Amino acid sequence: MSRNPVRSKGQKATSPQPAAQGNPGDDAIIDQAHALYSSDAATAVAYCGLDAWFEGEEEEFRRFARLFRRLMN
């Protein structure tokens, strides 16, 4: 049984932002990830997303998940 507060919350009705649609903040993060990690940028963003998940930061987790999807496209 998980003690993660994100998992213990009930499901919320959300409409995730499409992966192809970006905003300037996300674009800057992706550019920085490419500059720092080159071909491993998607992995680095995934680790950031996992860290946010384990810390219970649902909004940050969703943001990194969206960034990860964009990097994988």
* CA triple 27-28-29, angle to 5 deg: 90
Query: Residue holding tokens 């943001």?
Result: 63
Task: Report the pLDDT value the prediction gives residue 73, as an integer from 0 to 100.
Answer: 80
Residue 24's pLDDT is: 84
Identify whether the C-beta of residue 42 lies closer than 8 Å to the C-beta of residue 68: yes
List, for residues 7-35, the tens digit of each pLDDT value. 444 444 444 444 446 678 899 999 999 99
Q: Is the pTM of this model over 0.85?
A: no
pLDDT above 70: residue 65? yes
Report domain extents, the chain: 38-73
